[in-house]
Amino acid sequence: MFDVIVIGGGVIGGLTLRELSKYNLNCALVEAQNDVAIGQSRANSGIVHAGYDAKEGSLKAKFNVLGNKMMPRVAKELGVKYRNNGSLVVAFTNEDLVTLQTLKARGETNGVEGLTILSKDELRAKEPNISDNALGALYAPTGGIICPYELTIASIGNAMDNGAKLYTNFKVSEIVKNQDGFTVVSEKGQALDCKVIINASGLSCDKIANMVGDYSFKMGARKGEYILLDKENSNFVSHTLFFTPTKAGKGILVTQTVDNNILLGPTSTEQADGSTVTSESGLAFVIQKVKEMVKNPPLFNTITSFAGVRAYCDRHDFIIEKSSACENFINLAGIESPGLTSAPAIAEYVVKELIGSLLPLEEKADFNPERAPDYFFKNLTNEEKTQLILKNPLYGKIVCRCEEITEGEIVRAIHENPPARDLDAVKRRTRASMGRCQGGFCQPRIVEILARELGVDMTEVTKSGEGSELVWGKTK
Amino acid sequence: MGENKMKLNYDIVVIGGGPAGLAAAISAYDNGARDILVIEREKRLGGILRQCIHNGFGLTRFKESLSGPEYSARFIEELKKREIDVALETTVLSLTQDKKVQVINEQGVFTISAKAVILAMGCRERSRGALNIPGSRPAGIYSAGTAQKYINLNGYMPGKRVVILGSGDIGLIMARRMTLEGAKVLAVSEIMPYSSGLKRNIVQCLNDFDIPLYLSHTITEIRGDKRVTGVTISQVDENKRPIKGTEKHFECDTILFSVGLIPENEITKSANIPLSPRTRGAVVYQNRETLVDGIFACGNTIQVHDLVDFVSEESEIAGKAAATYILEGAKEKDSVATINGNNIGYVLPHRIDKNQKGHVKLFFRVTSTFRNCVINVVSGGEVIASKKRNIAVPGEMETLILTQDKIALLSDDITVELKEGV
């Protein structure tokens, strides 16, 4: 019997699980896919928003500002890359300039510090490649960037290191209410008992809530398409550049990523089924908008394009509450932007306030908030590298040449919490094959390593779980 | 050969143990250099030739048709006869202009000091990602070279029903290879109105197996959630935009990309060695010296060759020059630039040093298919070399010899240009 089961291995479920693991509670996270961080947390802009966007008094505003303040510490504890690069909301029309004033006032009401309006010249001084048509900008010095899947993986790994359990390929098909709480049943017939459920299943939040008779909200989804540029162009912009928001949303952004790529996007199209198929028109739109924002974007150095899904609910604010249908079922639904930023604050609130009202919270004496610090071998000094190689020679073998990732890191990702079981899982943990050749050289080698470490044949190694096998039997 | 032996200083360090590195090291030795190290990241020497088990290598150099491993074995044998150190499973992390080479292997991270360096890192394939091809991102999408590695080195089949995008040589070779292994290759789709592969590969790898080649076509959609289930190709207009209504749908489980090769130059960039935007490799003089004294570059790291035979030839030039540099030191240069004029994509070498003796072979590619054309080398308004071609195609590298007497008289940059209809 678990005290708490979290449904959904995204950043909300992940950070909530980690928060739960601080207490003497028996907790588990169930994830439908072969790995965690595979839905919304796999592909979004990775922005730590300052908090000027959300409407005054909304949950979005409250948790955004709190989460923004918490993020640097959480990132440091988890060994996740975070950079406080600052955001710029750029105005291109006189109407935009008026909107910037509104945003500034709203941000100040929300408690965002340091907001200033920049003139054309001040903007240009900060971002030399900005379009000549830019008239000014709202500068938010507390804006930042983080890698969303890295944060998710690290928080789940840290929770597991502190005793939480992870069940992957556990697609919830039924939730049975009983005397002590619930039995959560998977499509494959696994059953887990628990006292409390936290529903953090992203796009599936309504379907999961329906299973306990909660029909109080409906989910929808938008697709966002992105283009990623080579890290060679990392200095093309240094801040996160937004267009001035309109009714349609925040629009396309241009930003550095914490891994020094340049990220362009996202589009925003209704996509109820959550598909992440990219389209010619979507990618063309990204390119068109980016050319409006900056001069001569180095699009020739594109290394990949992809799409992510953004779930929203029909209430258009976060749902962070006990279900009206049963009180030991907590909905964390509709956590759209600024959900990533808000995640640490939501997790803390949910556990302290909501779980605290249902279960006794007794702090774990031996909780370790930190993950191993040597996460990226390439960031170590030569001496540290050599020391590590002498302990484990696999660190002396570079597998991914573009991102300089060693066999030691890949093997560790396969065995460390949460364990990588497929090629994409290795990629998200180590960055192997995320560089400019996109795995052209190293993919067969990583498949070999996965097969060896998992004790299976290469034909059983997948890209992203069952049905995505990479090779189909021996040659003649 | 001192296998897996590495000191911390050498006269010459060769980065890469593929065909370019092997030929350069041997040539450096034969021209008098003695203290040489070849650094190779893989377990074995040979580079990409290790997975090229098809024939056709060496026709120019050895007058016989060899497989990739056979071709490289000839060079490895020659290397073994000479006292040249080889460091295997050793990766170069960075290089500086004063020729400190930082490497990593199972013993640790080391800095090797060299007096001269030869860059021979080869090239890599352009990926699907670089092309913004819309669709899903399931398993079953490989670059042609990755598929080749799975099949020829690992012994596994990446799929059974295949569509290939791009008619580069590796794609053509893989069309045949996968057919011979029992796969069905449904189509090869090429965005240009001509193939970028060698004529002989079109005939031997596609025509002989009845595999259709769709010119002026590109992939407009990739389908499949976990694994590829299908692909749509469409005809493109002269601006390479897909034409509506020309879609052809294929049910397949595998897509191979053979859409171009890009010189590998991360190490070159780490040393801030100037690169040419045309070739995306280091700017070199005719002796394959880069703009940094004592650092040379050869093979596919400076220009993607059609035939390995030419890689070997080019690398011998670099090896000899590195040996001369070690024995005689740096020399004054007096150079002019080479410029790609009308209808020419690039010219290599990028600079010609008038103080260097000997003829210079200019390498270049034309930008499209041309018939009945003349290619001129012009300097100071005067044609100093010329050749006529019945047909010139981008897929086949062109060369022209510039004689020593003409070079001595150069006072101006030289331009290579192509004129049609003569």
Distance of CA B380 to the CA centre of its chain: 32
| Domain shared by A107 and A230, yes or no | yes
Mean pLDDT across chain B:
95
| Domain shared by A140 and A225, yes or no | yes
| Domain shared by A235 and A130, yes or no | yes
Instruction: Determine how many CB atoms are found less than 10 A away from the CB of residue A141.
Output: 16
Instruction: Determine how many CB atoms are found less than 10 A away from the CB of residue A272.
Output: 11
pLDDT at B351: 98
- Interface A-B: count of C-beta contacts within 8 A: 143
Q: CA B243 → CA A105, A195, A281, distances in Å?
A: 50, 59, 14
| Domain shared by A307 and A404, yes or no | no
| Domain shared by A306 and A381, yes or no | no
What 3-state DSSP class applies to B176?
Answer: helix
User: Who among B91, B139, B242 is closest to A470 (CB)?
Assistant: B139
CA distance B145 to chain A (A): 7
| Domain shared by A395 and A299, yes or no | no
Cβ–Cβ gap B156/A467 under 8 Å: no
Q: What is the CATH number of the domain that holds A138?
A: 3.30.9.10
Contact A369, A416 (CB under 8 A): no
Q: Where residue B197 falls among pLDDT bands split at 50, 70, 90? A: confident
How far is Cα A397 from Cα A380, in angstroms, rounded to an integer?
15
Query: Which residue out of B93, B104, B174 would a mutagenesis test of the A interface target, given it has the greatest number of A Cβ atoms within 10 Å?
Result: B104
Provide, as residue numbers in chain A, all residues whose Cβ is less than 8 Å from the Cβ of B131.
Answer: 302
Write out the two tokens for B112: 């090797």
Which residues 237-276 of B are in CB contact (within 8 Å) with A?
A: 242, 253, 266, 269
Which residues 16-45 of A are in CB contact (within 8 Å) with B?
A: none
Q: Is residue A391 part of a domain?
A: yes
Q: Is residue A296 part of a domain?
A: yes
Concatenated DSSP letters for B20-42? HHHHHHHHHHHTT---EEEE-SS
Closest Cα partner for A456 from A476, A471, A434? A471
The torsion angle over the Cα atoms of residues A186, A191, A195 and A201, rounded to 10 degrees, is -10
Q: Where residue B132 falls among pLDDT bands split at 50, 70, 90? A: confident
CA neighbours closer than 13 Å in the CB half-sphere of residue A133: 12
B301 contact partners, CB below 8 Å, separation of at least 6: B16, B20, B119, B120, B121, B122, B123, B263, B264, B265, B268, B281, B282
Structure confidence by residue, pLDDT tens digits, A346-393: 999 999 999 999 999 999 999 999 987 655 788 889 999 999 999 999
Which residues 66-125 of B are in CB contact (within 8 Å) with A?
A: 89, 91, 93, 102, 104-109, 124-125
Q: Is residue A38 part of a domain?
A: no
| Domain shared by A388 and A267, yes or no | no
Q: Where residue A266 falls among pLDDT bands split at 50, 70, 90? A: very high
| Domain shared by A87 and A236, yes or no | yes
* Element of type H or E holding B362: strand B360-366
Query: For A271-280, A408-417, B110-119, which range has the lowest pLDDT when averaged over its residues?
Result: A271-280
Q: Is residue B258 scored above 60 in pLDDT?
A: yes
Q: Is residue A187 part of a domain?
A: no
Query: Which residue out of A278, A423, A446 would a mutagenesis test of the B interface target, given it has the greatest number of B Cβ atoms within 10 Å?
Result: A278
How far is Cα A404 from Cα A397, in angstroms, rounded to an integer?
10
How many domains is chain A built from? 2
Domain boundary among A311, A343, A362: A311
Radius of gyration of chain A (CA): 22
Q: What percent of chain B clears pLDDT 70, i.e. is strictly above it?
A: 99
Rounded to 5, what percent of chain A is helix, strand, coil? 35, 25, 40
User: Who among A280, A401, A444 is closest to B149 (CB)?
Assistant: A444
CA distance B254 to chain A (A): 10
Q: Is residue B63 scored above 90 in pLDDT?
A: yes
Residue whose pair of structure tokens reads 């407009």 in the numeric block: B220
Q: Is residue B1 scored above 60 in pLDDT?
A: no
Domain boundary among A294, A311, A328: A311
How far is Cα A233 from Cα A298, in angstroms, rounded to an integer?
7
| E strand residue ranges, A282-392 | 302-313, 319-322, 329-333
**ipTM associated with this complex:** 0.94
Confirm whether A239 is a catalytic residue. Answer: no
Q: CA A417 → CA A167, A253, A364, A429, A448, distances in Å?
A: 12, 33, 19, 10, 21
How far is Cα A375 from Cα A361, in angstroms, rounded to an integer?
31
Q: CA B110 → CA B94, B116, B359, distances in Å?
A: 11, 17, 40
pLDDT at A262: 97
Residue whose pair of structure tokens reads 């997948």 in the numeric block: A462
Contact A186, A314 (CB under 8 A): no
How far is Cα B32 from Cα A455, in angstroms, rounded to an integer?
51
Structure confidence by residue, pLDDT tens digits, B76-101: 999 999 999 999 999 999 999 999 99
Q: Is residue A354 part of a domain?
A: no
Whether cis (ω within 30° of 0) applies to the bond prior to A369 is no
Residue A160 phi, psi dihedral angles, 5° rounding: -65, -40
Q: Give the chain B residue whose CA is nearest to the CA of A279.
A: B134
Q: Is residue A89 part of a domain?
A: yes
Domain boundary among A258, A278, A311: A311
The torsion angle over the Cα atoms of residues A161, A163, A167 and A171, rounded to 10 degrees, is -120
Q: Is residue A283 scored above 60 in pLDDT?
A: yes
In the DSSP assignment, the letter for residue A221 is: E
Q: Is residue A180 part of a domain?
A: no
Q: Where residue B3 falls among pLDDT bands split at 50, 70, 90? A: low
Residue B323 phi, psi dihedral angles, 5° rounding: -65, -45
pLDDT at A424: 97
Residue A441 is part of which domain span?
377-460
Distance of CA B153 to the CA centre of its chain: 21
Q: Is residue A132 part of a domain?
A: yes
Query: In terms of pLDDT, which residue wins out, A415 or B195?
Result: A415
pTM above threshold 0.90:
yes
Q: Is B128 on the interface with A (CB under 8 A)?
A: yes
Q: Where residue B157 falls among pLDDT bands split at 50, 70, 90? A: very high
Q: What is the CATH number of the domain that holds A381?
A: 1.10.10.1100
